[in-house]
Structure 1
Amino acid sequence: MKNKTNNRVRLDYIPSGVFEVGKSGVQASIETVEDSSAVFDEDGEDVSSTTLPGAKGYKYVNWGADNRLPYELIRLIGVDEVMSQNKLFNVLTCYGAGQKYNDYDTGRPTVDKEIKKWMLHNSIPSFMLEQATDMKYYFFCVSVIILSVDGSRIVRLRHKEACYCRFEKADDKGRINHVFYGNFRKSALREDEIEVLPLLDEKDPLGDLEVRMGRAPGKDGKKSIPTKDRKFAILVRFPTPGCRYYPLPNYTSIFRGDWFDIKRLIGKGKKAKLKNHATVKYQVEVHKDFWSNLLAEEHITEPVKQLERIKKEKENIKNFVSGIENSGKVWITGYYIDPNGKENRMVRINVIDTTKEGGDWSEDIQEASNITCYGDNIHPNLVGATPGKSQSNNSGSDKRELFTLKQSLEIAFHDLMYMPHNVVIHYNGWGEKVYPDVPMILLTTLDQNTDAKSTTANRINHNNDEDDN
């Protein structure tokens, strides 16, 4: 993270402060929570670039001020229980009923042996989950297609994890020509540690691929000599305003606001309060004459035995008040009245209030969790962030409708994520056989004799070959 005089700075290394816990005024030192907004460059999109090692001198655009923004996002999400589960929920709802290649005639998953074998070799369910994860974390995903030796078919479709991808600085025409893949967690990379991938045109990857492979003419109307490259990257980006390279997901407003830090402070405050609160059930007061009377009654005069007897009697008192087997029993002790008329009890047991500690911020933590869910575009009732009988938990019908609404919001992501599949289908000559689809899961009512069914927004109208949405 960059430290700037006119901006926020990271608070990771600010010394621990003093935090007051409880009404008793007990002081507990706790670790200061960092300012989560400091991981973002407040001047807008940072387009500073770094030159890769090697003779070609490629330049990639840094992702964040110090090129570590994706890893900071992973860290911040990982320390928050609600947000990390929200991301998993978003990935699973985006996955829906899984990526399918549906038959044009039946609208059902294809039974074509060649296509099914290709899907099996490329582990399409894993590919879909990987792509959905990057889309939900970073709003973009990168896939790689690998062609056969003769360049006639796409034989492999692979995912490249977004946090290890960097984009080449755009040329004079504003086009990004390469994607670089490597472990950018390291401060310095060798040339052999970075994979350079030619990037197909973001808007028309299929057309660009066909031109490069000599299948179609270029802008000049002439076919070019086929390239020797057999591996190409396809970039899918969800648009965010003002970001030319790396999208800034909408959920990151959670970090740039205050509630993420407030939620962490509440957790640390409750932890400090619970750690520094000693739960004591009883206070036993013993008159100083009680011990001398006890020793006199038992005729114990030796100092060592006197100490042993007093210690044993203390254990007897402790066991009496704390043992569950003594519940309901009675302990009889004496007392006397002094010349001033004041009662002096030999033993007095005081019951200490053991009201549950650490509940001071219960409403605040619920509010912070709800705001986190709102920032992640998830209704709290769907992920259990609104617990308790007294909370506004919705009925089963409301939850079903909320889940259906959530699934329908994934259509925009699905339409973008179809891109690499469409490139494969049409380049391999399957365009008249199958089309990509991600059916949505719809929860049903009991009268339909099933728990759930799937439907799709990518229905094909066979009369005019257009989507019927």
Structure 2
Amino acid sequence: MTVKTKSVQKINKKISYLSKSDAIVTPISWFEEEKKNIDRSNDEWIKWGKNDNYPEEIRNITLRNYVAPALLKFKVSAANGKGWMLYKTRYEGKTEIKEPVKNSEIEEFLEKIDFDSYLSEAITDLEWYEILHTEFIRNKGNKIDNFRHLETMYTRAAKRNAKGKIHKFFYGNFSDKRVDKTALTQIQAYNYNEKNPQSKFVLRSTIPTPGYLYYPPATWHSSVLWMQVSNEIPKFKANGMMNAMTIRYHIEYPSDYFEEAMPEELGYTDEDRENKKNEIFQQIDDLLTGTTNAQKAFYSSFQTDVQTGKALDGWKIHVLKDETNYDAHKGDNEQATSAICSSHSVNPTLANVILNSSFSSKGSELRNAFKIYTELYTYKTRQLVTKPFELTKKINGWDKDIKIGFRDLVLTTLDENPTGSTNAL
């Protein structure tokens, strides 16, 4: 039997609200569960999260949030820049100059594998999970014939071997409650041994986190709890608006008004009185609503007791004060939004997130924020996403001086450039 309590409100399976102390109670972080799960896993692959569906849970919580998807979209767009290009580096004195180059063999290869789509998918995975899996396939001459992105959500790592290496990966539908092992594809991890080349292998690229040997969490996942809190606030407001009865007026009338005005002696029936009552109520309702009735007044007369001189009951309209707190949780929502933006290291204005806080929206400061983000935070994502190209270049014997770079948008003042922006490599 469940004991009912007045001050404990269950928000969902993971969060409870204590109304007396205004406290939120949650379970230990999923990250802790993931580490414990590694020790007790008996499957061929290492489970990702308690129920082996951590990526899916992150996705579902994120897509219900109104802030995080905009931040992730900005980060993916910033990492993509204004497109990629092949280039070589030369120096004039101490000045480094990147010059665009053409190479038909490389360009044909990248076009064949649809490199644009690969970059879009790979960068998205890196920004969401900070883990990237790429599958390589060799031709009969042991050169790389193709490489493609494997979605992180559907990829799991095998247990490390005696040398401490992840020697293979499992790829398939891990969204099902019961995973069909026979439907999973097993692919060997790249072994860096070109003397015995693998016909097919997976290269994994991650941003490491101390203590996480298999699935290092993305930095912004630290804001998962804040996203859960933020996701519940609209529900509170919606429930309040849909379920609460907001009464604006209290209308009083004498209980015997219609009996005295329409007596039976004059031939009036109960139905006549009820119809008249509804007619007057409708007239009052019409009077109190609508823009055409603004500033109108309601007049009523009443009789007095001939003996006492006191007023007898008459029609009265009482305006009731709206006690609804429309700003409830406003502070909580702004605090959650600020925490989510901070975990992504993105000024919310850059992602078009509206927030009344200390984040600046001045043009010069936003230009600096955009410059810092593109120069500092896109570097690692771009380095990881171009690793498959670098490996392919090495195995296929392409010009080692050719690299892939990204064109960036550089925001300027109108004095510097009438368009307000320019391009840079």
Task: Give the TM-score normalised by structure 1.
Answer: 0.76
Shift of 1:236: 0.6
What is the DSSP-based 3-state SS (H/G/I as helix, E as strand, rest coil) of the residue aligned with 1:100? Answer: strand
The correspondence for 2:234, drawn from 267, 292, 314, is 267
Residue equivalent to 1:129: 120
- The alignment status of 1:294 with 2:261, answered yes or no, reads yes
Q: 1:174 corresponds to which residue?
A: 164
In 1, are the aligned partners of 2:190 and 2:203 still within 8 Å (CA)? yes
Q: 2:155 aligns with which of 142, 153, 165?
A: 165
Question: What are the equivalent positions in structure 2 for 1:141-152 lying under 5 Å apart?
Answer: 141-151=132-142
Preserved contact between residue 15 and residue 26 of structure 2 (Cα < 8 Å): no
Q: Distance in 1 between matches of 2:109 and 2:27?
A: 44
Where does the alignment leave 5 or more consecutive residues of structure 1 unmatched?
Answer: 1-9, 21-32, 53-58, 202-207, 214-228, 457-469
How far 1:422 sits from its partner (Å)? 0.6
2:48 maps to 63
Residue of 380, 401, 404 corresponding to 2:371: 404
Q: CA deviation at 1:325?
A: 3.1
Residue 169 of structure 2 aligns with an amino acid whose one-letter code is: V
Greater CA deviation, 33-42 or 360-369?
A: 33-42
CA distance 1:392–1:350, shift in 2 (3 Å): farther
CA contact (8 A) 1:239 1:247 kept: yes
| Distance apart, 1:76 and its partner CA | 2.2
- In structure 2, give the amino acid aligned to 1:313: I
Quote the residue 1:246 is aligned against: 215
Which residue in the other structure is 2:340 paired with?
Answer: 372
Alpha-carbon distance between aligned partners in 2 of 1:400 and 1:300, rounded to the nearest angstrom: 83
Q: Could you tell me which residue of structure 2 aligns to residue 6 of structure 1?
A: none
**Compared with structure 1, are the counterparts of its residues 190 and 282 closer, same or farther at alpha carbon in structure 2 (3 Å cutoff)?**
closer
Alpha-carbon distance between aligned partners in 1 of 2:400 and 2:133, rounded to the nearest angstrom: 26
**What is the distance in 1 between the residues matched to 2:72 and 2:372?**
17
Task: Give the aligned partner of residue 313 of structure 1.
Answer: 280
Equivalent pair of 2:412/2:422 in contact (CA under 8 Å): yes
Cross-structure match for 1:461: none
Q: Does 1:83 align with 2:68?
A: yes
CA distance in structure 2 between the partners assigned to 1:45 and 1:84 by the alignment? 29
Residue 7 (structure 2) aligns with: none
Pairwise CA distance, 1:48: 4.1
Aligned partner of 1:220 in structure 2 is: none
**So what's the TM-score if we normalise by structure 2?**
0.83
**Shift of residue 384 of structure 1?**
4.1
> Quick one: structure 1 residues 99 and 178, their matched pair in 2 at CA, closer, same or farther if it must change by over 3 Å?
farther
> What SS does structure 1 have at the residue aligned with 2:195?
helix
Judging changes above 3 Å, is the alpha-carbon distance between structure 1 residues 253 and 308 closer, same or farther for their aligned structure 2 residues?
same
CA distance in 2, matches of 1:81, 1:327: 37
How far, CA to CA, are the matches of 2:360 and 2:244 in structure 1?
33
Amino acid corresponding to residue 235 of structure 2 in structure 1: K
TM-aligned CA deviation for residue 71 of structure 1: 1.8
Aligned to 2:381: 413
Q: Which runs of 5+ in 2 are unaligned?
A: 1-9, 91-96
Q: Which one of 373, 391, 402 corresponds to residue 434 of structure 1?
A: 402
How many pairs does the alignment contain?
404
Change in CA separation of 1:187 and 1:351 when aligned onto 2, cut-off 3 Å: closer
- In 2 relative to 1, CA 17–301 (structure 1 residues): closer, same or farther, beyond 3 Å? farther
The Cα shift of 1:175 comes to 1.6
Instruction: Check conservation: 1:386, 1:393, Cα contact below 8 A.
Output: no
Q: Does 1:234 align with 2:203?
A: yes
Q: Please list, as runs of the form range in 1=range in 2, the aligned pairs for 1:335-350 lying within 5 A after superposition.
A: 335-338=302-305, 339-344=307-312, 346-350=314-318
2:175 maps to what in 1?
185
Judged with a 3 Å threshold, the aligned counterparts in structure 2 of structure 1 residues 319 and 373 are, in CA distance, closer, same or farther, namely same
Establish whether residue 140 from structure 1 lines up as the match of residue 126 from structure 2: no
Alpha-carbon distance in structure 1 between the residues aligned to 2:15 and 2:372: 46
**C-alpha displacement of 1:142:** 0.4
Cα deviation, residue 113, structure 1: 3.1
Q: Which SS does the other structure have where 1:453 is aligned?
A: strand
1:423–1:443 distance in 2 versus 1, CA, 3 Å: same
Task: Give the 3 Å change call, closer, same or farther, for CA 299–319 of structure 1 in structure 2.
Answer: farther
2:394 aligned with 1:453, yes or no?
Answer: no
2:34 and 2:14 map into 1 onto residues whose CA distance is 24
Check the 8 A contact 2:16/2:26 in 1, yes or no.
Answer: no
Q: Report the equivalent of 1:195.
A: 185
Alpha-carbon separation, structure 2, partners of 1:416 and 1:404: 20
- Asked whether the 8 Å contact 1:94–1:407 carries over to 2, the reply is yes
**Cα distance between partner residues in 2 of 1:134 and 1:161:** 7
Task: Give the aligned residue type for 1:97.
Answer: K
Q: Residues 179, 372 of structure 1: CA spacing in aligned structure 2 closer, same or farther, 3 A cutoff?
A: same
RMSD of aligned C-alpha atoms?
Answer: 3.3
1:102 to partner: Cα distance = 2.5
- The amino acid of 2:332's aligned partner reads D
Cα deviation, residue 141, structure 1: 0.3
* Deviation of 1:370 (Å): 0.2
Contact 2:137 2:146 in 1 (8 A): yes
> CA, structure 1 residues 348+121, in 2 after alignment: closer, same or farther (shift >3 Å)?
same
User: Residues 195 and 363 from structure 1, CA distance in 2 versus in 1: closer, same or farther, beyond 3 angstroms?
Assistant: same
Q: Distance in 2 between matches of 1:433 and 1:16?
A: 58
Deviation per residue, 1:104-144 (Å, 9 max, x gap): 67945543333222222222222112111221222110011
